[in-house]
Amino acid sequence: MRAARLIKLVLLLQSRPSMTAAELARQLEVSERTVARDVLALSEAGVPVYADRGRAGGYRLIGGYRTRLTGLGRTEAEALFLSGVPSALREMGLADAGSAARLKVAAALLPELSDAPTSAAQRFHLDAPGWWQEPETPELLPEIAAAVWDDRPLTVRYVRGDAEVERELEPYGLVLKAGVWYLAARVPGEFAGAGDYRVYRVDRFAAVASAAEGKAGAEVPAVAASTAGRERFVRDESFDLPGFWAERAQQFARSILREKVVLRLSESGARRLPYVTDRTAGREAVAAAGEPDAAGWVRVTLPVESLEVAFSQLLTLGPEAEVLEPAELRERFAEAAARAAALYQQ
């Protein structure tokens, strides 16, 4: 642990003209006294660290010293490709690896490019969760992420409805969608549904164990014995995580649109429909509409999740939409319109 901290300290000083003890302590997450001891250890090892005294003082490397300790390890290299998603790195337990990788890249840059990492960070930031959502990190995410990186099979307990089910899974990839983590995994050969790739919400895992944990005797699901005998699974290199997720996401979006409603829409209503309902379904419904009637209105058939959801969504279109079918939804809109009219007549 200390050796890694000493390397990080040297890389920090190499990437900047000088740093105060407080700045180094904050970056290294140690006390200023520990920074002083580490600097002394580096000096004794022959690293030319110089301490400037006074209020504007700090630590710096002298004599143009450049360390050769800039080679990226596998974990650091993988984390570097995710460095534009700092929240995801932190939640998967890879924040330290990402930080070390960025420092090594910064240390290898030419002096005139030393501000490139800061410049990029000031100009781009990805905020994954949607609005009005309180992001929560699933407790078991770091363990699942470690298994994904290392191609280790998992034995899990997964909450489905009101019950927990036991599964053995080959974890292929993680997806962060609107602040929610999902695991894409394959069911191994000897289990029901063998060979299928499935999607699981990470926050619904009650327990997980990798092969190494099973061997170590950790408390794991009953099926852990089958996982413990396999160090790693053989990954299907043809598996395309972005393509798989896009297909499954589209299937999911289609599967929840179980009802259909028939509408008349004004020109404004037709233009706004994709922004108040499922965007793809709304656009396709408008595109499939026939010619406008004499008043300029079009008739569309719209797939919806439920009549309750349709009511709340289409209500935002106000007088720009008329529900024709089904009759119960039309009656509900008529009642709502009458109540609204009564309120405004008072």
Query: Order of strands, edge to edge, in the sheet holding 205-210?
Result: 197-201, 180-186, 163-177, 154-160, 205-210
Q: Are strands 180-186 and 163-177 parallel, antiparallel or unpaired?
A: antiparallel
Structure confidence by residue, pLDDT tens digits, 241-266 = 888 988 888 888 777 888 999 999 99
Q: Are strands 163-177 and 154-160 parallel, antiparallel or unpaired?
A: antiparallel
Does residue 287 or residue 8 have the better pLDDT?
287
pLDDT band with cut points at 50, 70 and 90 for residue 124: low
* Residue ranges with strand state E in the chain: 49-52, 58-61, 154-160, 163-177, 180-186, 197-201, 205-210, 259-265, 298-304, 321-325
Q: Coil, strand, or helix at residue 49?
A: strand
Q: Is residue 294 left, alpha or beta, with left meaning phi > 0 and alpha meaning psi from -120 to 50?
A: alpha
Give mean pLDDT, residues 312-320.
93
Q: Is the pLDDT of residue 282 over 50?
A: yes
- Evaluate whether 183 touches 144 at the Cβ level (below 8 Å): yes
Highest mean pLDDT: which range of 77-91, 143-157, 189-203: 143-157
Q: Which of 5-19, 22-36, 87-101, 202-216 has the lowest mean pLDDT?
A: 87-101
Tokens of 244: 């798989």
Looking from the CA of 110 toward its CB, the CA atoms found within 13 Å total 2
The DSSP-derived string for 55-105 is TT-EEEE-TT---STTPPPHHHHHHHTTTT-HHHHHHTT-HHHHHHHHHHH
Structure confidence by residue, pLDDT tens digits, 26-64 = 888 899 889 888 888 888 878 888 888 766 678 888 876
Which amino acid is present at 86? P
Q: Which of 54-63, 117-126, 281-290, 293-302 has the lowest mean pLDDT?
A: 117-126
pLDDT at 79 (0 to 100): 53
Q: Considering the entire predicted model, what is its pTM?
A: 0.55
> What integer best gives the mean pLDDT of the chain?
80
pLDDT at 218 (0 to 100): 40
Q: For residues 53, 58, 63 and 65, what is the CA-based torsion angle, rounded to 10 degrees?
A: 150
Q: Is the peptide bond before 171 cis (omega within 30 degrees of 0)?
A: no
b/e 108-147 (16+ beta carbons within 10 angstroms → b):
beeeeebeebeeeeeeeeeebeeeeeeeebbebbebbbbb
CA dist 153 and 169 (Å) reads 6
* CA distances, 29 to each of 26, 32, 117, 209, 296 (Å): 5, 10, 21, 30, 66
Q: Is the pLDDT of residue 121 over 60?
A: no
Q: Which of 11-15, 59-63, 100-104, 144-148 has the lowest mean pLDDT?
A: 100-104
Give mean pLDDT, residues 148-160.
90
Q: Which of 96-100, 158-162, 273-277 has the lowest mean pLDDT?
A: 96-100
Residue recorded with tokens 């990798």? 210
- HEC sequence for 147-182: HHHHCCCEEEEEEECCEEEEEEEEEEEEEEECCEEE
CA 291 to chain centre: 43
pLDDT at 46 (0 to 100): 81
pLDDT band with cut points at 50, 70 and 90 for residue 113: low
Q: Is the pLDDT of residue 290 over 70?
A: yes
pLDDT at 119 (0 to 100): 55
pLDDT at 208 (0 to 100): 92
Q: Is the pLDDT of residue 217 over 50?
A: no
Does residue 339 or residue 132 have the better pLDDT?
339
Q: Is the pLDDT of residue 228 over 50?
A: no
pLDDT band with cut points at 50, 70 and 90 for residue 346: confident
Give mean pLDDT, residues 87-93.
68
First CA to last CA distance, the chain: 74
pLDDT band with cut points at 50, 70 and 90 for residue 223: very low
